[in-house]
Homo-oligomer: A and B are copies of this chain.
Amino acid sequence: MIHIAVLGYGTVGSGVVEVINRNRDSINKKAGKEINIKYVLDLRDFPGDPVEKILTHDIEDILNDEEVRIVIEVMGGIEPAYTYVKRALLSGKSVVTSNKELVAKHGTELLKIARERDINFLFEASVGGGIPLIRPLNQSLTADEIYEITGILNGTTNYILTKMTEEGKSFDEVLKRAQEKGYAERDPRADVEGHDACRKIAILSSLAFGMEVNYEDIYTEGITKITEKDILYAEKIKHSIKLLATSKKIDHRVFARVSPVLISNDHPLAMVKGVFNAVLVKGNVVGDVMFYGKGAGKFPTASAVVADVVDAVKHLNRNIVFSWSTEKMDLMELKDVPVRYFVRIKYEDFENAKNEVEQVFGTKEIIVLENLKDEFAFISNEETEGILQEKIDILKKEKSIKGIENIIRVEY
């Protein structure tokens, strides 16, 4: 029998306990041993709840109990999670976590401790909820050199963009409804500003490229500036606007970015709608593979946590090797990364504005929406962002152009 402890009895923690009980027989069979939840740690009391008898308020009960071999951290946030997890690992207990902030900030150190002690630090649930991502990247795509990972890693923003598209409503309207339905937090910034997706792509990049990618180095732009008009233009040219987290090798360097992107409706990520997540991985042998599913929620997340527990039981005194090393990745600056811009322009004078765009950007094709009389849009050729920004600055000074309404990146 393997004794485990669960830190945090919130949404995910209670899901984990429920799943281990519900699928007990099949889980124990796959783990090859009986799994017993010996402790649940939470500051709160849960009178009448089945966990009442195993509830503790004191982390020392768990850390000092040598019978506990695996600790599940599902509290979220950096502290006290970091301190607890580090102490658990240092005392020889494997740790399974769903905490993306913790993994993005301290993953390198915690993996190193686990490696040195021949135990495990596993974090499948920290990215993409129940979608198998970390393990396939680490153990299935080993023949490949990965050169790109691009994903829809945040369900809240994908829900908002989907609803804006399907119902023609504004960001604020849809956000409000999403909050009422519980799909968005009361303080939605971590989602809508892209911070959540940023941490997740940092984790995936560290794994895929074998070095520590600091999430603070990743250019991150949210969806708050996306308007109904942008979506109408996108629809006109059979594109969708998605918040994409991407990490890509160019020659021997890597760039990473979180931002709204226009993608063709033929792109496999374009069909990912509502709260679903998906990650497209490109390898130099396999080509494109995509993983799709619910990226959050009590049970999808619990599914990934418990699968990690099964793996931890199967590898009790044997470290599962991750390529994520302690070496730091020096990311490319965005200004050196080639991309296309979708640019929306308000004009004083249509013909002159059109000519200016052609002269500066070398593109004749503009996109006009019938109902919008004082603006048009165009898509630039591919150039580095540095050059594109210089060209935007030139446009801004032209008299025929009243202003730049929005700029969104375009990927093919």
A23 surroundings in chain B (CB, below 8 A): 143-145, 284-285
A residues 110-151 near B (Cβ < 8 Å) are: 124, 130-132, 135-136, 139-145
Partner pick for A135 among B19, B31, B139, B293, CB 8 A cutoff: B139
> Once the chains bind, are A286 and B130 in contact (CB under 8 Å)?
yes
Is A26 part of the contact surface with B, judged by Cβ < 8 Å? yes
Least CB distance from A347 to B in Å reads 37
Is A358 part of the contact surface with B, judged by Cβ < 8 Å? no
> Once the chains bind, are B135 and A307 in contact (CB under 8 Å)?
no
CA distance A37 to B282 in the complex (A): 26
A290 surroundings in chain B (CB, below 8 A): 290-293
Least CB distance from A22 to B in Å reads 8
> Once the chains bind, are B30 and A142 in contact (CB under 8 Å)?
yes
Partner pick for A143 among B32, B292, B307, B323, CB 8 A cutoff: B307
A374 surroundings in chain B (CB, below 8 A): none
Least CB distance from A17 to B in Å reads 12
A268 surroundings in chain B (CB, below 8 A): 271, 292
Please list the residues of chain A having a beta carbon within 8 angstroms of any beta carbon in chain B: 19, 22-23, 26-27, 29-32, 124, 130-132, 135-136, 139-145, 268, 271, 283-294, 299-300, 302-307, 309-311, 314, 321, 323
Q: Can you identify 25 A-B contacts, CB atoms within 8 angstroms?
A: A22-B285, A23-B285, A30-B321, A124-B140, A130-B285, A131-B289, A132-B141, A139-B311, A140-B304, A143-B303, A143-B304, A143-B305, A143-B309, A143-B310, A268-B271, A285-B299, A285-B303, A286-B293, A286-B300, A287-B299, A289-B292, A289-B293, A289-B294, A290-B292, A314-B321
Q: Which 4 A-B pairs have the closest CB atoms?
A: A143-B306, A132-B140, A130-B286, A289-B293
